[in-house]
């Protein structure tokens, strides 16, 4: 891949895009940075410079993507999320295993944080000490560029985290601030005493109240207090300073110029701070994200922005922006994920249906990443106002869910652990792999084949639900072979305090060899996901643009919904009960089961425990 560009001046495409967005960009910039012409002039020149530094083959990739602006909305996208060191030790190792990823159907590859961060003070790579350097243990920027080139040959897009809210205290800016550089200190939030920080604490929630209480830390090197929303070694950046925005946008574009196709904007809602508020989801955040979107559109128009917004539904959707003025191209469908696991624990689909109704009502231009598990915990951010009508009380219900998924409830075979338990608020999150939370781990430990069969059926049904939704299904590395919890983290002094490492174990290449043996747990799950993927690809009803609607079934244990696109209707049905269930619908037509080719009437259907069905009907023009 070429690292230099042949043209010394921006081409007409760049100029056309720059002129298209100039007025809006200037208006937004001047509004938030008080008509700072020098800062805006620097920003515009930076955009031109970053475009000139972009390799010719990446510009060709941009051209390919912009010709089909809806490329990520079809039914052929499938993602995988992985840690480089857990999956293949190094970036080069990932490249060596691209055939496995390609065979697994992956064309959206999310590499978890791999930039340089201090050992033991990295928060899993989210405390970045250098935005332009890969962690030496994982490789180099040249390795990332080479991986990108090989991925593009296979039509695989690379997603990388961009930690925008803070830097490590080991970042050059923070080191300069510690040395007394006032200009560097202005990149962060420094206070001479605790008076202002104490005022902030009155309204700003704590992210990690047990492992990292408070939002500020004393910095002994300068005798001042610094804002640290997440951990003491992660210093919040001051986006009120235009220099911070300019330089961080340049860092983002630098990563795009290394072949990164999707930029995951980490901790997006936190980046603007105002006293007397929660410092979450403030209007200025949307202005900053919109400007970053415009910057990407001008410099690298094939790039997508993914917003990491793990909030309640009403706070998530605004990060799409509007259809005319988009902010993020993609967002996580976090509430559906949490509602899904709630449904597993309760066998009651009413909350899940309520959540699906909300997402089905959104404009089809809005694309979610859908997932069962990720690198993080499961937070029970459910719609408790809705659940209240059924007599559900928030604190007690969270306790029930956490007890269920730790196997503390009679009849539960799930195995997980709590994360960041807060006894004062009666709140805690949950960790565990999909397979272990589905009961497979417990069944294998007990050598109970009947329980194992049930756990595998549940695991596969959950993946079927995942592949039924509009958007991009994303697997967490290892889930495709039913990888179990890894308890060895308890023995690691650098990790044992963070239970999220329970589901961040090393990928088992030995287990992956069993993926073709359908008599094994690995083979059954892998082949089932393969069949779901291939069936999804065959039917345009799974396009993001498809019409979607809920189908009443008369049974709270079952959820069913329809999809329609270009004369094809598909109905997806899921039994979340461990008992057989019968459903009745108003569907009078005759359908065909997509997997068995069986003809079926949808007005009365019996579903076995944890059974799913995709049935289809093709209308004549």
Residues that are catalytic: 266, 308
Q: Please classify residue 385 by burial: count the beta carbons closer than 10 Å to its beta carbon, then call 0-12 exposed, 13-18 middle and 19+ buried.
A: exposed
Residue 108: strand, helix, or coil: strand
Q: Burial level of 363, CB count in 10 A (0-12/13-18/19+)?
A: exposed
The beta strands (E) that lie in 323-406 are given as 330-332, 367-371
8 A C-beta contact, residue 443 and residue 521:
no
CB neighbours of 175 closer than 8 A, spacing ≥ 6?
none
Of residues 189, 304, 278, the one with CA closest to residue 235: 189
Distance, in Å, from the CA atom of 509 to the CA atom of 514, rounded to the nearest integer, reads 9
* Cα separation values, 503 from 433, 437, 439, Å: 5, 11, 15
Token pair of 573 as six digits: 């049905």
The torsion angles phi and psi of 332, rounded to 5 degrees, stand at -75, 140
Report the greatest alpha carbon distance in the chain.
76
The tokens describing 538, both together, are: 């065959």
**How is residue 232 written in tokens?**
């003491």
Residue 45: CB atoms within 10 A of its CB come to 11
C-beta of residue 201 within 8 angstroms of C-beta of residue 224: no
The DSSP output letter for 206 is: P
* DSSP 8-state assignment for residue 143: H
Backbone angles phi, psi at 377, to 5 degrees: -80, 170
CA 383 to chain centre: 20
Strands (E), 100-144: 108-111, 115-116, 130-134
Residue 589 to residues 468, 533, 617, Cα–Cα distance (Å) = 21, 26, 8
Own/partner contacts of 411-416, CB < 8 Å, gap of 24 or more, are: 412/345, 412/439, 413/439, 413/442, 413/443, 413/451, 413/454, 413/455, 414/345, 414/438, 414/439, 414/442, 415/439, 415/441, 415/442, 415/485, 416/485, 416/502
Q: Which ranges constitute the DSSP H helices of 469-547?
A: 509-512, 521-538
Based on DSSP, count helices (H) and strands (E) in the chain, helices before strands: 22, 25
Return the bridge partners of 264, or none: 161, 306
Contacts of 60 (CB under 8 A, 6+ apart): none
């Amino acid at each position: 891949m070429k690292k230099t560009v042949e043209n010394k001046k921006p081409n007409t495409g760049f100029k056309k895009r720059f002129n298209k967005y100039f007025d809006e960009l200037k208006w937004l910039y001047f509004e938030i940075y008080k008509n700072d012409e020098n800062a805006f002039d620097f920003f515009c020149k930076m955009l031109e410079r970053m475009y000139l530094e972009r390799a010719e083959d990446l510009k060709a990739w941009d051209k390919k993507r912009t010709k089909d602006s809806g490329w990520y909305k079809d039914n052929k996208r499938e993602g995988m999320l992985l840690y480089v060191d857990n999956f293949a030790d190094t970036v080069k190792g990932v490249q060596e295993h691209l055939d496995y990823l390609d065979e697994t159907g992956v064309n959206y590859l999310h590499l978890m944080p791999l930039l340089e961060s201090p050992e033991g003070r990295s928060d899993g790579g989210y405390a970045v000490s250098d935005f332009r350097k890969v962690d030496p243990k994982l490789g180099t920027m040249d390795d990332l560029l080479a991986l990108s080139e090989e991925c593009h040959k296979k039509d695989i897009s690379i997603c990388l985290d961009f930690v925008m809210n803070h830097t490590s205290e080991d970042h050059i800016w923070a080191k300069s601030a510690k040395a007394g550089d006032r200009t560097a200190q202005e990149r962060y939030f420094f206070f001479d005493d605790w008076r202002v920080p104490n005022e902030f604490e009155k309204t700003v929630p704590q992210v990690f109240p047990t492992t990292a209480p408070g939002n500020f830390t004393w910095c002994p090197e300068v005798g001042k207090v610094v804002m640290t929303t997440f951990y003491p070694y992660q210093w919040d950046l001051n986006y009120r300073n235009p220099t911070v925005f300019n330089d961080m946008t340049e860092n983002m574009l630098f990563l795009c110029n290394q072949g990164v196709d999707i930029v995951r904007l980490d901790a997006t809602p936190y980046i603007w701070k105002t006293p007397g508020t929660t410092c979450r989801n403030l209007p200025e955040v949307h202005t900053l994200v919109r400007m970053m979107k415009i910057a990407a559109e001008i410099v690298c128009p094939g790039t997508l922005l993914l917003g990491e917004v793990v909030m309640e539904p009403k706070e998530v959707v605004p990060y799409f922006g509007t259809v005319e003025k988009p902010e993020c191209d993609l967002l996580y469908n976090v509430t559906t994920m949490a509602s899904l696991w709630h449904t597993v624990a309760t066998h009651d689909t009413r909350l899940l249906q309520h959540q699906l109704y909300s997402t089905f009502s959104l404009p089809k231009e809005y694309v979610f990443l859908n997932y069962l598990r990720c690198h993080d915990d499961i937070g029970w951010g459910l719609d408790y106002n809705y659940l209240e009508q059924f007599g559900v009380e928030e604190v007690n219900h969270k306790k029930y869910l956490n007890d269920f998924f730790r196997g503390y409830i009679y009849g539960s075979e799930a195995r997980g652990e709590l994360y960041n338990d807060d006894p004062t608020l009666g709140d805690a999150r949950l960790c565990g792999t999909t397979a272990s939370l589905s009961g497979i781990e417990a069944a294998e430990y007990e050598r109970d084949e009947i329980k194992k069969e049930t756990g595998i059926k549940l695991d596969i049904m959950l993946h079927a639900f995942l592949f039924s939704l509009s958007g991009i299904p994303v697997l967490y590395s290892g889930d495709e072979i039913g990888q179990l919890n890894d308890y060895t983290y308890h023995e690691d002094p650098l990790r044992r305090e963070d239970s999220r490492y329970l589901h961040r174990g090393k990928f088992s290449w030995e287990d992956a060899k069993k993926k073709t043996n359908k008599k094994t747990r690995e083979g059954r799950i892998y082949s089932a996901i393969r069949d779901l993927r291939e069936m999804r690809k065959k039917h345009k009803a799974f396009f993001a643009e498809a019409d979607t609607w809920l189908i009443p079934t008369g049974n709270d244990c079952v959820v069913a919904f329809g999809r329609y696109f270009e004369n094809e209707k598909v109905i997806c049905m899921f039994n979340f009960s461990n008992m057989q269930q019968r459903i009745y619908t108003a569907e009078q037509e005759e359908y065909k089961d997509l997997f068995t080719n069986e003809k079926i009437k949808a007005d009365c259907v019996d579903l076995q425990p944890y059974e799913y069905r995709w049935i289809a009907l093709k209308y004549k023009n």
